[in-house]
Amino acid sequence: MRWNRMHDTALILLSAATERELRTTAGELAGEVERYRTRLPHQEASDAAWLQGLSARTSLKATQPHRAAVLADSLEQLHTRLCSIHSGEIASCARLLTDGASTAHVSHDAQAVFLYPGQGSQRVGESSELAAGVPRFAAAVRDLEERFTSPSLVPFLSGAWGHPLDAQLQEDVNDTTISQPLLSVLAIATTETLADLGVHPSITLGHSVGEIGALHGAGVIDSDTALGLIQDRVFCMRKAAPASGMIAVRASAGALHDVLEGAPGVFLSCDNGPHQVVLGGTDTALHTLERQLDSAGVRFTRLHTSAAFHTPLFATADAEFRRRIAARPWSSTPCEGAVTCVSSVTARNVVTAEQASQGLGHQLSGTVRFREAARKAQENNPDVLVQLSGGVSLMRMYRQTNPEFTGREIGMGGSHDTRAGMAACVGEMFLSFHNFQAHKILNSKGIASMTSTQAWTSENSVVRTLIDPPLDDAPSGAMPPAAPPLPRDVGGEGITQDLLGLFREQIATLSCVLSPAAHPWPRARNQQSVDVLPAAEPNARESTASPAAQQAEVSGQVTRIIADIGGYNVSDINTGARLGTDLGFDSLTMTNVHAALTRQFPAWKPSESQLGSIRTIDDLARTITGTPVDDEHPARPSLPARTTVSTVAMSSGPVGKAERFSDAATPETGRLTTLPDVQETVDKIRAAKKSRVQLPYYVEHQSVAAATTTIAGEEFLSFSSYNYLGLAGHPHVVAAVHAAVDTYGTSCSAARILSGNRPIHNELERSIASLVGAEDSVVLVGGHGTNASIIPLLYGNSDVVFHDALSHDSIHQGIKASGAVRHSFPHNDIDQLDRALAARRKHFRRALIVTEGIFSMDGDLADLPAIVRVARKHGAHIMVDEAHSIGVLGATGGGICEELGVDPSEIDILMGTLSKSMASCGGYIAGGAPFIQHLRYSLSSLVFSAAITPANTAAALAAIEQLRSEPERLHRLRENSLHFVEGARARGLNIGNACGVPVVPVILGDSDAAIGVANTLYRQRISVNPIIYPAVSNDLARLRFFLTSEHTIQQLDRALDLTSEAVHGIARAA
């Protein structure tokens, strides 16, 4: 759910390795909440935004076994409930919706019973909150609705989301031709959505028409069969048993036995539980029975049904339904998988599709034996009940039948189809399912592959809320403490905090790393750097104009700068537009903005509080003129209606004369070796060496780097190279290199287009194309250069490139060189990408979307299927950088398309490198044959470059051959990756949302800490690289572990143990 839509309830999720750590974490967060409450004046909107931002950030943290969930609609309530968890007052049996907080120990996925309700539970606009939060669910519903056209389901389901209830529709939805298809669509879409979130059933059980949903949920039948059965069922039932009805009776079937014996024409329709049955019969017989029950004091309710379902009155309909069922193929082979479907027709487990067909053939005229089926399901001792729509009705009957059941209950839809109800459902799933991916709902960026966080007050490397004290106030010899985050706007905008964080890090981080061990807090390099001073100064250019006129003048200048950098037409920019969400400005773009503003307004030195309030162009202008920035912002405007393609300077700021030439510039005429920048770097490195700080750069490795490496003559465990499949030193690969050198020499001595082409070049290109599933490919000498050259070839200043905010530097360099407008979208936020394309695409000649297969700093995947859908919707091209995913993802190592089931022909540019799994060096582009042929005659890095060497070509070719002949290497790599991820989480290490690929970050949140832990491990003969700014933002500084198929479990565990000891040692020292 997009929780920035919510103003009444936020869900906060916590986890830790032990119960004690969980309680400590709750206490620490309670302190953060209290500091935030007492630091600033508050308004309801800003508090709500802060709560929702906190909800999203906590959902991104790596989940560990001891967990807590808290519902809160105010800071006071959140503080109270966090304190209750800290003190141990909240019990694990507490219910979120009623108690507001609960805890659990989740060491494995719960044994879950999925309950599928029948006719009578339907509601117009059902599951609207799930649709609002999970686009995949909404899309699945809309796709399934199209199967039913007469009558259409759209007005009753997706068309009713977000609209007031229509009384006539609510009456019409009870019709069998509407209700049963609606319930089946919800059943299928919800089951598939929950699976995507990591929630899977162990047992499925359906009531009446819900039987078909339960069979689908257990994998007994597929969705096409389920929908076809629903269509047949509706056809057979719609005219059956006229002048009949049903009543619900508060009694057991046994207690009514004698009554039924004396009431001809009345039958037991549903045996729901020990205290409720449903009777059906002709209207005349039911009237007689109602008088008898009334006289006996038995409570009953007449149901609003069109006929007496599940009675012998439907025998003719049953016969026709059996005939239609028999016309379909039904397998007698036992179903594979661990999910058990318990039939409410037979009260037995369904093992084969053929058994399912036999039960369905007697369902319309037979009793629904839900009570017996619930008893059967309870034999599996489930931990949790999940009702997929309609609220809690089936769960209530299940619990009445099985009073020994004490597990959790998750009711979706119905009375729970509210924001608070949906939040409670998500929280209960988090407390029940080990692999539940809460951030797919709670975080507005919407996918599992999110950068995780270390601190409560930080997000990912693009949007962050960590606010440090001013430079001049920081004590010498220590890193400044983190302050609570400033409130965020309701729209989820965090670009201003990122702006501040990035400026601070640019000044500080490298200086911290390279300065002596005492590490005085770094100062600005010179007066041109962005000093953060206590108060802003007005524009130095004195003006006699009125404040309003001066404000308008400055606002116009700022707007022109923003337009130049962002590729917009000045007249189309609303000065109230948010810089990040609306205009697509990420931290790199904002660096350009700041540089341009500093040149234009040299006296502009905003304070931290001012920077923290900047969200819009108007805010920027106000800080320059010294006008206070409003705390509240109007509703977010839409993206500009039109964009220009003529102003596209994305990396150097505005290109006007005033910006190229400045009277304030001082010419530097010295040689490059004497430049201040050069000398400063040299001095810092020299100082670091004098302090005996071990710099982790340019270390000499003296052997093949696989599971181990040799440094200074000693063997180290190696986690610092991406030799994923261990093929860099494989005998077959080495022999192939020797043979190629013997045949072709060490260099091709020419560009391939002239006389540098060799048979092995063509062979390698065919092999790569076959591996990734493309028509053709072309290889180049370097991976970085491949990205930096392919984008400028195809895109220019009439085009726009949308790239994931965490894209590699080579992609940024390519976009910069192309002159195309650059639009950054938050990491894997496909909804935001969709909105940006909708607003901007039509005004550019070409549009490109760039993402990565495996993101090299975070070990997560792109949501490629969603990107394909958005690209096709808007007529954009797709480029995927598979540097770290080729040879790693997919059943045969074919990459992300094979892994996620995407047709490779849907991807316009499949780029990859040869230096990881392929044990070589170089890059490639794969795609359609005409496109690759075009590249062979036009791509400058191919046409004007010497050919890739025979040795590198042969190594890559041999590596692909070994990948195919030794598939166990890929299997071992995956096992090692999963073992390391699970082991890291078990030891309390923050690995973000690493998803089991061989790139695993251990996030420390501080560059000094990352250097320190890396040095500690180095002394223990473990080689692992620290990743600090500018590769990542400082608060996401980390160690990056590369895993290989050659590591043993013992080696992985040793590294994990020593890393955990070092990391927790630093935490204790702090």
Could you give the count of Cα atoms lying within 13 Å of 228 in the half-sphere of its Cβ?
A: 12
pLDDT value, residue 694? 67
* Beta strands 244-249; 300-302: pairing state: antiparallel
Place of tokens 């022999």: 735
The helix/strand/coil state of 52 is helix
For residues 815 and 838, give the distance between their C-alpha atoms in angstroms, rounded to a whole number. Answer: 21
Q: 669: how many CB neighbours lie within 10 A of its CB?
A: 6
SS3 label, residue 394: helix
Residue 648 · residue 567 · CB < 8 Å? yes
The more confident residue out of 16 and 277 is 277
Report which of 684, 623, 630, 639 is spatially closest to residue 499, judged by C-alpha positions. 623
Same fold, 445-635+651-660 and 694-722+967-1069: no
Is 796 buried (19+), middle (13-18) or exposed (0-12) by CB count in 10 A? middle
Closest to 857 (Cα-Cα) out of 487, 464, 462:
462
Helix/strand/coil percentages in the chain, nearest 5: 45, 15, 40
Contact yes or no for 554/561 (Cβ under 8 A): no
Distance CA 469, CA 453 (A): 20
Contact 1008, 479 (CB under 8 A): yes
pLDDT at 513 over 50: no
Per-residue b/e over 237-267, b at no fewer than 16 CB within 10 Å?
beebbeebbbbbbebbbeebeebbeebebbb
Tokens 């965090």 sit at which residue?
494
697-731 pLDDT tens trace: 788 999 998 999 999 999 999 999 999 999 999 99
Residue 478 host element (H or E): none
- Rg of the Cα atoms in the chain: 32
**CA nearest 469: which of 513, 506, 500, 515?**
500
**Span 554-579, average pLDDT:** 77
pLDDT average, residue stretch 388-402: 94
Q: How far is CA 395 from the centre of its chain?
A: 31
CATH of 445-635+651-660 among 2.40.50.140, 1.10.1200.10, 3.30.413.10, 3.90.1530.10: 1.10.1200.10
Of 65, 59, 61, 147, nearest to 103 by C-alpha is: 65
What are the residues whose beta carbons fall under 8 Å from the beta carbon of 1042, sequence distance 6 or more? 719, 720, 721, 722, 723, 724, 998, 999
Confidence (pLDDT) at 41: 54
Amino acid at 902: V
Q: Measuring CA to CA, how many Å separate 581 from each of 237, 564, 637, 648, 1033? A: 51, 18, 10, 19, 20
**Neighbour-count burial of 337, counting CB atoms closer than 10 A to its CB (0-12 exposed, 13-18 middle, 19+ buried):** exposed
Looking at residue 435, its pLDDT comes to 83
Retrieve residue 906's tokens.
């849907």
Quickly count: other Cβ atoms within 10 Å of residue 227's Cβ: 20
**39 vs 779, residue with greater confidence:** 779
Extents of the domains making up the chain: 3-107, 112-430, 445-635+651-660, 694-722+967-1069, 748-793+840-853+864-965
Q: Give the model's pLDDT for residue 715.
A: 94
- Evaluate whether 494 touches 459 at the Cβ level (below 8 Å): yes
Q: What SS3 class is residue 723?
A: coil
- Under the banding of pLDDT at 50, 70 and 90, the label for residue 629 is low
Bond prior to 1030 in cis (omega within 30° of 0): yes
* Residues 420 and 1003 sit within 8 Å (Cβ to Cβ): no
Gap between the Cα atoms of 366 and 280, Å rounded: 11
Judged against a pLDDT cut of 80, whether residue 657 lies above it is answered with no
What's the length of the chain?
Answer: 1070
Distances (CA, A) of 276 to 206, 254, 256, 279, 966: 17, 11, 10, 10, 61
Strands (E), 971-1061: 999-1003, 1022-1023, 1025-1027, 1038-1042
Which tokens is 1036 given?
């996401």
What is the SS3 assignment for 64?
A: coil
Q: What is the pLDDT of residues 847-876, one digit of tens each?
A: 999 999 999 888 999 999 999 999 999 999
* Percentage of the chain lying above the pLDDT 90 cut: 50
Mean pLDDT is lowest, of 604-618, 708-722, 821-835, for 604-618
For 179-229, write each residue's pLDDT tens digit: 999 999 999 999 999 998 889 999 999 999 999 999 999 999 999 999 999
CB-CB contact of 799 with 953 (8 Å): no
Q: Which two tokens stand for residue 722?
A: 């991406």
Residue type at 138? A
Token reading at 664: 């304030």
What are 1013-1043's pLDDT values in tens digits? 999 999 999 999 998 876 677 788 999 999 9
**H or E element at residue 67:** strand 66-72
User: Which is more confident, 6 or 575?
Assistant: 575
Would you say 136 and 194 are in contact if contact means Cβ atoms under 8 Å apart?
A: no
CA distance 479 to 457: 16
Of these ranges, 589-593, 667-671, 891-895, the one predicted with the greatest mean pLDDT is: 891-895
**Residue-wise pLDDT tens digits, 533-564:** 223 333 433 445 667 777 788 888 888 888 77
Q: How far is CA 489 from the centre of its chain?
A: 22
At a CB cut-off of 8 Å and minimum separation 6, what does 68 contact? 13, 14, 15, 22, 26, 85, 90, 101, 102, 103, 104
Q: Which residue has the tokens 């929908």?
A: 227
Q: What is the CATH number of domain 3-107?
A: 3.30.70.3290
Q: What is the mean pLDDT of the chain?
A: 81
- Angle, to 10 degrees, between the axis of helix 495-514 and the axis of helix 1007-1019? 40
Is the pLDDT at 643 greater than 50, yes or no?
no
Q: Where are the beta strands (DSSP E) in 188-274?
A: 203-206, 244-249, 266-273
| Greater model confidence, 976 or 295 | 976
β-partners of residue 114 are 204, 386
Choose among 382, 283, 835, 253: nearest CA to 577.
835
Q: How far apart are alpha carbons 344 and 369 in whole angstroms?
A: 5
The H or E element spanning position 703 is none
What SS3 state is found at 2?
Answer: coil
pLDDT, residue 692, reads: 64
CA distances, 131 to each of 114, 154, 320, 413 (Å) = 19, 14, 36, 11
* Mean pLDDT computed over 137-151: 88
Asked which of 14-18, 387-391, 706-710, 866-870 is least confident by mean pLDDT, the reply is 14-18
Residue recorded with tokens 């819009």: 616
C-alpha–C-alpha distance, residues 421 and 845, integer Å: 46
Region of 68 please: left (phi>0), alpha (psi -120 to 50) or beta: beta
Cβ(260)–Cβ(266) below 8 Å: yes
Rounded CA-CA distance 1043/998 in Å is 5
The CATH number fitting domain 694-722+967-1069, selected from 3.40.50.720, 3.90.1300.10, 3.10.20.90, 3.90.1150.10: 3.90.1150.10
The model's pLDDT over 793-811, given as tens digits with 9 standing for 90+, comes to 999 988 999 999 889 989 9
What's residue 867's pLDDT?
Answer: 95
pTM for this one? Answer: 0.50
**What is d(CA 376, CA 348) in angstroms, rounded to the nearest whole number?**
7
Least confident window among 104-113, 169-178, 551-560: 551-560
13 has which bridge partners? 69
Decide which of 1.10.3080.10, 2.20.25.10, 3.40.640.10, 3.40.50.2000 is the CATH code for 748-793+840-853+864-965: 3.40.640.10
Tell me yes or no: is domain 112-430 CATH 3.90.1150.10: no
Q: How many CB atoms lie within 10 A of CB 164?
A: 7
Q: Across-strand partners of 803?
A: 824, 850
Strand partners, 825: 804
Alpha helices (runs of H) in 567-643, residue ranges in sequence order: 587-600, 608-613, 617-625
